[in-house]
Structures are given as C-alpha cells and as structure tokens.
Structure 1
Amino acid sequence: MSKPKKPPRPVHSATVVGTEMIAPDMIRVILGGDGLRALPELTHTDHYVKFKFGEVTRTYTVRWFDREANQMAIDFVIHGDTGLAGPWAARAQPGDEISFAGPGGKWRPSTDADLHLLVGDEAAIPAIAAALDSLPDDAAVRVFLEVASADHHQPLRETSRTEVTWVHRDEHVTADGKRLGYGEALTLAVMRAGLPVGVRADRVEAFVHGNADMVKPLRRYLFKQAGVPRERVSISGYWRTGMDEDGWQSSKFEFNAAMEAED
C-alpha cells in the first residue's frame, strides 16, 4: 500500500535576516522578505515548511511567525557537514535567499485538558516550545525532552504549573556500557513517570513526536496502559534512525499502517 499523494503546497521565497545559536547543535535562522506576506494565519503550533534544496526538500517546524514584523524563525539541528539543511543553516548569512513550500500543520493544544503531556527529541523541540508559548498560565503541563547532554538545554516558556524533565543521552547506557539509542531513554522516562495521581486519562492531551523508534512503545503505553483516548493524542515520527528524510517519508505510511495492524 502506497501513501496517497497530496496536492502540492504553494511555494514561497524568503531572505535570511539573521541567525542565532540556541544550543550547541541547534541554530535559529530568522527569515523575512515579501514572500512571507503571502502566508496564511499560522494557527497551529506544529506548522511546518518544506525547504527546497534543488530537487530535494527538507521539512522543518516553524518556531514562530511574527506577521507584524514579517519574520519567521526556523530552528535547525546541525550535525557538522552532514545533510543538506543543517550545513546551509550553519553558513546562512543575511541576504541569503531560499524557497519553501507550505505551510502545513494541524495541531495545537486544546483548552479542555487537565494535563498537557508534551514529549519529543531535538526535532520536536520547536513544536513543543511553540505549544508552551500558546498555553495559558494556569495550564498543567508535563514536558519530557531528550537532548545530547545537559549542555544542550534550550530556553522554554515555563509557568508555576509547568514541569520539564530533560533526558540526557550521554547519561544513559546499557549494562554492557553501550549508549541507548535515540528515544530509548526518553521512552523510559515517560513510562516510569506515569500519569499524575488523580488525573483521569480521558482528560489528558498528549503530543509525542521525534524518532519513529520511540513512537511504537510510547503509542502502546499511552493507548494500552495509560488509557489515553486516541483522539486526544498526536503521535508521529518526524525521523527514523538510519534514514534520511526521503527514505523515511517514503516508508512512513507503511510504518504507521503496521503499527495500526499490531494494535
């Protein structure tokens, strides 16, 4: 079974205004230009765009969009010279131009949850940070974020009802001394924490995104063990270990269908 094709999204152009290192492995690129004026209202916190590098596209979440200033921020994970988008972002200078398709997106936190559970790795931090920005001060939020080490924390909006747990990959190893894979320590942290005492599962709303290999166990935990209704969970793999975006996107539909069949 192949993934149904969607109609093409409009293509826009943008110009680099500036950059900012927000973590040792993440750089924020701020874009401007007349091309942004054609964008619709961005009402979701998981809005994304697809940057065009020749015939290749790479998908990134919109961290924020300021219509009054006509600027948009995108946070890029960088791994040295590996990949296309990361190296471009690391070298980006004011005046550089780039085109992108989009935006897409469909999720934002609701107002009727007793607890918001936000879980992800570096790829999901922009969407989770945007969700935190959108929530009211009295919203109860539990956040679990996996990063390389304690040096890789990023500033987040927090209130007195926000509980953030940072999971550091360099601190988690197996009995034979091997580091856990991407998402494994994060999965364990979420499952060990469980839901707060007194919070009904049907009053929980969850956003769980990142490495696809953590999606399977967390999906099973949330649906089967914790009993959170499926319609109150946004869960999907942004990427998968050992695959570039083209490989992952071409197999994602089958991956998700297999999970559904297992359930």
Structure 2
Amino acid sequence: MEIVKKKGIRSVFSVKEKIFLSPHYIRIIFDMTEQQVKKFAQAQIGAHNKIFIPAAGSEEVLFPDDAEVSGKPASVKRTYTTRRIDLSKKELWIDFIDHADHGPASYWASRAVAGSKLGIAMKAGGRPLFPEKAAYFFVGDSTAIPVIATMMEQLPTHVQVKAILEVYGPEDELKLSSRANASVNWVYNPQPDMGSQLFELVRNLSLANHQSFFFFAGEFETAKKVRQHFKETPGWIPANYSVVSYWKKGASEDESSLERSEDRRS
C-alpha cells in the first residue's frame, strides 16, 4: 500500500537481497514495484528519511494511522538514510549498522531474509544536500557513512573533498567512490559508546571557511561540541556548515529525538 502525503511518500517494501559489506555493515536491497518506482522517482536520496520496523512478534508493517484504526501495535519508527534508488533496476538500498546492543533497526536487519517487510517514508524533492563550493570536509562516525558516501558520489569532478570517518576497526573500512578529488582518512573506535576523538580532529582541521562546506554527523554530545566550535570560530556562517546528531550515548532514538531536534534549532 502506498500513501502520498503533502510532506512525503511512504510504502511497504520487500527485501530482495542482503549483503554484508563488512562485519558491522549490512546492505539491504529492496525490490520496487512499478507503482513504487513512479511514486519514489523524485525522492531525495541522502535525506533524513524514516523506516518503520514491524513490532516485536509481528512481520506486518503498520504505519501509525493504520495501527490506530486496527488497534494493533504500530511499527517502530527510526531515522535512516536511503542509500540509493535505482529506478532502472527497481531497487532501493538502505545500509544498516549491526550494533552490539541490537537496537530495533540493526536487530531487524541482522535477521532479515528475502521477502521480509519494512516500511519506508521519504520526502519528494527537497533542497540539495550541500551548497556549491570549491572544497568539502565531511566528518562522521559509523552512522554517518551512508549520507557521506551519498554526498561524495554526487560531487562534481572539479572540487576537493576530504573525509574523516570513524569505524569500529580496519575491517569496516568501505570502498567509497567519488568523481571529485577525494581522500578518506579512517580512524578506529571499537567502543563508540565510550566516547570519540572526532571533535579533537575537527578542532585541529585547517579550513578555508569562505570556499568550503563542512558537514558532521554522529553522536549527540560530540555533535554539540562541533556545532559550538563553528559558532565560535570567526568567519563561519551557518550556510557553510551542517552538524547533525543521529544518536545519543545511553539513549534510544525515542528518548533522544526531541533533545536532538531542539539542539539543531539552538
């Protein structure tokens, strides 16, 4: 069932294939029907989209309004990046991190098989992921790799891009592609719940603010420090940087989403 709303599109997708990109990364490839191809043709790849995971003990995807009508538990909602939509192959990709704590999304992905169902909601259209600049700096932890990889693929040939990506270990380094002049520095953090070195790395970067765009995504407290750093650095205006947090240490997305949203507006 597809429902088109003013703010986006949603549908229930079936798993076509599951690929282990590394010990901690799972790519789920979903089949797209002809109707889904038409509905999602203008979807914004790399944007913050929503997935709806069947409730515990169920394989049925129930969006909140459907659950209210049926009286059954609604599917669990999480924020995820849609990695790619291939309209010619009728495929949609989402990359999941297999966390040790097995949150609902990674728990679902680790057990998904061909035919498993997932609800996906996306925005139709939307603003570009980044402005036009001569240079780009992307920094993020393991949760940021899907959106950073997507941005790197969209950059033109004449720009410079440097990325610093934090993963569990060398076995989780992924092959990222870009037409731009790109370099990737991998840093290792086997226990991300215990803290990150990313803020210190960001603080020591030499950035040309008038020609550059900076993007950071990761844990809430680290993102908060990075955002404050740019607010206090002369010459940087909000249009030239973007800082988002995808998770918070010791809190589920349900517990941390309001705080993360308020922090982005501050």
TM range (shorter): 0.7 to 0.9
User: Out of 97, 102, 105, which is 2:117 matched to?
Assistant: 97
Matched residue type, 1:122: S
Tell me the equivalent position of 1:32.
Answer: 31
- What is the CA–CA distance in structure 1 between the aligned matches of 2:114 and 2:92, rounded to whole Å? 14
Given that 2:45 and 2:81 are in contact with CA atoms closer than 8 Å, whether structure 1 keeps it comes out as no
Identical columns (%):
26
Deviations 1:164-185 (A, max 9, x none): 1111114xxxxxxxx7856631
Given that 2:45 and 2:84 are in contact with CA atoms closer than 8 Å, whether structure 1 keeps it comes out as no
**Structure 2 matches for 1:1-263, cutoff 5 A?**
9-34=8-33, 36-37=36-37, 38-54=39-55, 55=74, 56-80=76-100, 82-103=102-123, 106-111=127-132, 113-158=133-178, 161-170=181-190, 184-195=196-207, 199=208, 201-225=209-233, 227-257=235-265, 260=266
- What is the CA–CA distance in structure 2 between the aligned matches of 1:160 and 1:64, rounded to whole Å? 19
- What is the CA–CA distance in structure 2 between the aligned matches of 1:159 and 1:134, rounded to whole Å? 8
Given that 1:146 and 1:169 are in contact with CA atoms closer than 8 Å, whether structure 2 keeps it comes out as yes
Deviations 1:49-104 (A, max 9, x none): 32233322122101111111111100001125622111211121112222222247
> How far apart are residue 116 of structure 1 and its match?
0.7
Q: What runs of 5+ residues in structure 2 fail to find an aligned partner?
A: 56-73
- What is the CA–CA distance in structure 2 between the aligned matches of 1:189 and 1:210, rounded to whole Å? 14
Matched residue type, 2:174: Q
SS of residue in 2 equivalent to 1:193: coil
- What is the CA–CA distance in structure 2 between the aligned matches of 1:28 and 1:226, rounded to whole Å? 40
- What is the CA–CA distance in structure 1 between the aligned matches of 2:22 and 2:127, rounded to whole Å? 27
Q: Which one is further off, 44-53 or 136-145?
A: 44-53
Residues paired across the two proteins, number: 240
Q: What runs of 5+ residues in structure 1 fail to find an aligned partner?
A: 1-5, 171-178
TM-score by length of 2: 0.81
TM-score by length of 1: 0.81
